[in-house]
Structure 1
Amino acid sequence: MRCRSLAGLLALWLAATPVCAGVFDGTGATVRIKDLVEFDGVRGNDLVGYGLVVGLNGSGDGIRNAPFTEEILSNMLERLGVNVAGEQVRPKNVAAVFVTAELPPFARAGARIDVTVSAIGDAKSLLGGTLVMTPLNAADGQIYAVAQGTVIAGGASAEGEAARVVQGVPTSGSVPAGARVERELDFDFAGMTRLRMALRTADFTTAARIEAAVNAAYGRPVARMLDSGTVEIDIAATGARSPAHALQQIETLSVRPQRKARVVVDQRSGTIVMGEDVRLSRVAVSQGNLTLRISETPLVAQPNPFARGETVVVPRTEASLEEEPGTGLAEVAGGTSLSEVVAGLNALGVSPRDMIDILKSIKAAGALHAEFVVR
């Protein structure tokens, strides 16, 4: 039986009443500046390396399918003084892996960082393996850390001659504190005279509020808004002993951020999230469901025994059309606050998935004054 649901047959009429023309002064919560911006130069750097995991229980790479594993194993043995030239090395307990890590800001030589290990060949599991000394390079090609240690895989696998069971991802794991920093980044943070703060969500109003909060805290012009996503700090004007002392005072200041009105919906789970600045013009909404059902029950006709003839399949189709009573023509008044918008939409008495269709149609009618994001 086939069933098709034409849900959300909506009729929308945009009423003549415009959206409220006043300025909404919400009482949003204040947020620390450190949670709104990224400081110039205070950032991590990605590292990557190519190495070997050894000590696997026969779950390593097949050398025939992953010849690069044999090549790196031979090169490593040669560096250790083992001559394997011309020999066929075919172990089953070795796997080639990519090793990734993030070098945190201001990491000093000798510090430990976590690394992630991922198989790149046809290895079945990295459980119980040990990562052999692997240099980690940055984008400039320089080695900044060296990784080595026991791999902690995030899955499990078991297999027999006729079946195999896998839970999680046993071909990927981590080595906590498995890399030691060998080179420091060449960044003179203490010598900076001006420092820029980059907003994670660019907005002119939020940038202006950050500028005002910093200048009010020092009582003089210390911060200057460059654009919607950047605020510059004059370190010398702060009178602080160093840029670090200046940022310690600035990052704890609180401002009330301003964001664009946005409605985010997830069609898979039926989740709807609205920002506090969402506004709705006065609209009328009608919603109903139309269901079409088609069932096929073919009839087979056969000739009598020992009679000449052919078996014939006679099609037989039953179709029905059902229309559920809709909500009628419901009016949603213009909303001046998020609570009024939610109350007006809830008055329709529909499910969250039907609400998504209604919001789409209201946006198409021009009555939803917010950015509509569908995931």
Structure 2
Amino acid sequence: MSLLLASSLSAAKIKEIVNVIGVRDNQLIGYGLVVGLNKTGDGTTSKFTLQTIANMLQSMNVKLDPKDIKSKNVAAVMVTATLPPFARQGDKIDVVVSSMGDAKSIEGGTLLMTPLKGVDGRIYALAQGPVTIGGRNGRGGGALNHATAGRIPGGALVEQEVPFDLYHQNQATLSLKEANFKNAVSIQNILNRYYKERVAVAVDARTIRLRKPANMTMIEFLANVGELSIDYSVKPRIVIDERTGTVVSGVDIEVEPVMITHGDIVVKIQSEKALPAVSEGSDAQNIGANTQVQPGNHAVVTRHGATTVANIARALKKLGATPKDIISILEAMKNAGAIHADLQVI
């Protein structure tokens, strides 16, 4: 399947294509126990789980040798979360719980209080609560698709804030999500024209430094900046889903004349006049305005107008190419200089 995106020139608000340096998420991680499992927890081979149980019980004045613990209702887990910018004490954030040992499932379990630390080793949140498992059929809108990992929505309370005083700043820095000299200069010019003074300067292909006007706070200034629209250039990109074989590309991504042989599949891009006519009753099939699939797993794509990645994808699908075949062929075309776009495999 091939999906077509808009052309390489798009309109968007500035806030959609930039980040404000300093306004960022922070990753948190912790180690804990999930209890209440119905004999689906870690076995006796997960010694770190047994030691953790013994340590927890000892903190409650219950001394027990880890070798004497035979419970299969407990699983050791890693707990991860994302601390959003400007999160305050008492705010709730979602956490992801993932089994570390040989537990068969953590469904129905409860995570015991787990400190979540940042890269600096400080505790920023405490997680606890019932683990939910969703979307085990793989279709659940971003839900985890196996029973050894789950989520706790709002399962962590923020205990410590990440200090960042934006209000009293006189300067700020924008970072483009994708480096582009033209886009950086466009943002600079739009802001300077809008405020009728030099409030922005592009220092490289990704960075724009801002100086707020005297009659505004930094919060008001960034809010206004984010709402301004810009026509920005999008770098051509082809995205391939390795699992499904879905190809997403821009409508204007052309493919130059080339011939690629991959196993028993041959893709030849040639001029329209070199393409043999398909007579009625012929074994060759037209599968698009510019594309014919001929006997022997050959796809011949003409240069009528412009051959695009969409033509190639349809031809390869018709030939029964697997997702790996499609990836290999498109990568070979890019390496040969026939495709002038970034290729991203997800």
Task: Output the TM-score relative to the length of structure 2.
Answer: 0.73
Cα deviation for residue 28 of structure 1 reads 3.6
Cα deviation for residue 191 of structure 1 reads 2.7
* 1:151-170 equivalences in 2 (<5 Å): 151-154=131-134, 168-170=145-147
Output one character per residue of 1:305-345: Cα deviation in whole Å (capped at 9) or x when no partner: xxxxxxxxxxxxxxxxx9659788x7525xxxxxx435898
Cα deviation for residue 77 of structure 1 reads 1.4
Q: Does 1:35 align with 2:23?
A: no
Q: Does 1:240 align with 2:210?
A: no
* 1:353-364 equivalences in 2 (<5 Å): 353=317
Output one character per residue of 1:231-255: Cα deviation in whole Å (capped at 9) or x when no partner: 11112x36312x2111111001110
Structure-1 separation of matches of 2:54 and 2:101: 17
Unaligned runs of 5+ in 2: 1-6, 137-143, 258-269, 277-293, 320-325
Structure-2 separation of matches of 1:87 and 1:365: 61
CA contact (8 A) 1:260 1:277 kept: no
Structure-1 separation of matches of 2:313 and 2:39: 60
Identical aligned residues as a percent: 38
Letter paired with 1:47: L
CA contact (8 A) 2:255 2:308 kept: no
Cα deviation for residue 259 of structure 1 reads 2.5
Q: Hey, what does 1:373 align to over in structure 2?
A: 343
CA contact (8 A) 1:263 1:370 kept: no
Cα deviation for residue 280 of structure 1 reads 6.3
Cα deviation for residue 213 of structure 1 reads 1.5
Q: What's the C-alpha RMSD, in Å, of the aligned pairs? A: 3.7
CA contact (8 A) 1:108 1:184 kept: yes
Q: Hey, what does 1:55 align to over in structure 2?
A: 36
Q: Hey, what does 1:351 align to over in structure 2?
A: 315
Greater per-residue strand proportion: 1
CA contact (8 A) 2:77 2:99 kept: yes
Bigger RCO (CA 8 Å, 6+ sep): 1
* 1:1-375 equivalences in 2 (<5 Å): 28-62=9-43, 64-84=44-64, 88-154=68-134, 168-235=145-212, 237=213, 239-241=215-217, 243-264=218-239, 271-275=246-250, 278=253, 284=271, 332=303, 340-341=305-306, 351-353=315-317, 368=338, 370-371=340-341, 373=343, 375=345
Report the secondary structure of 2:133's partner residue: strand
Structure-2 separation of matches of 1:350 and 1:78: 64
Letter paired with 1:192: Q
Report the secondary structure of 1:71's partner residue: helix
The structure with more radius of gyration: 1
Structure-1 separation of matches of 2:152 and 2:58: 26
Unaligned runs of 5+ in 1: 1-25, 157-166, 289-321, 334-339
Cα deviation for residue 82 of structure 1 reads 2.2
Q: Hey, what does 1:304 align to over in structure 2?
A: none
Report the secondary structure of 1:249's partner residue: helix
Structure-1 separation of matches of 2:145 and 2:244: 23
CA contact (8 A) 1:218 1:238 kept: no
Report the secondary structure of 2:232's partner residue: coil
Letter paired with 1:110: G
Shift in CA distance, 250/69, structure 1 to aligned 2, threshold 3 Å: same
* Alignment coverage as a number of residue pairs: 296
Cα deviation for residue 86 of structure 1 reads 7.9
Letter paired with 1:253: L
Shift in CA distance, 205/121, structure 1 to aligned 2, threshold 3 Å: same
